[in-house]
Amino acid sequence: MHELSLTESLIDAVLERTGDRQVTLVNLRIGALSGVLPDAMRFCFEVASAGTTLAGAQLKIDEPRGQGRCRNCKRDFLLEDLILLCPCGSADVEVLGGRELAVTSVEVA
């Protein structure tokens, strides 16, 4: 499960910036096409933050949907998974969104 190592890296990055201050909220953006499972991150966050100033912090995850644009028919459409096919049948698709994986904000007490 790579979510555990991602979560540990997330916690290390937040701790590096917040020092000894108690963290109350971490906001993440995890796109549907990022390859990261938000529920797994939630579980890992609770486990990996134990004993740190992030213990007990709320983790909010924004989960933007995948978006693509067909280079053939120029249509914009939603991508539910990494199978990049336009409804017109073309596989010449540009991914416009949904690959995000970022900390958007952190709140401290």
DSSP string, 53-84: TTTT-EEEEE-PPEEEEETTT--EEEESSS--
What token pair was written down for 104? 């958007």
What token pair was written down for 105? 């904000």
* pLDDT above 80: residue 22: yes
* pLDDT above 70: residue 108: yes
Say which CATH number the domain at 26 has.
Answer: 3.30.2320.50
Confidence of residue 1 (pLDDT cuts 50, 70, 90): low
Q: Is residue 79 part of a domain?
A: no
> What is the share, in percent, of the chain residues with pLDDT greater than 70?
99
The pLDDT tens digits of the residues spanning 58-100 come to 999 999 999 999 999 999 999 988 889 999 999 999 999 999 9
Q: Is residue 58 part of a domain?
A: yes
Does the annotation list 8 as a binding residue? Answer: no
Model pLDDT, residue 78: 95
For 35: left if phi > 0, alpha if psi spans -120 to 50, otherwise beta; the answer is left
What is the total count of domains within the chain? Answer: 1
If DSSP codes are grouped into helix, strand and coil, which group holds residue 92? Answer: coil
Does the annotation list 44 as a binding residue? Answer: no
What whole-number distance in Å separates Cα of residue 78 and Cα of residue 101? 18
Does the annotation list 70 as a binding residue? Answer: yes
Domain range enclosing 37: 2-65+98-108
Model pLDDT, residue 90: 96
Q: Is residue 72 part of a domain?
A: no
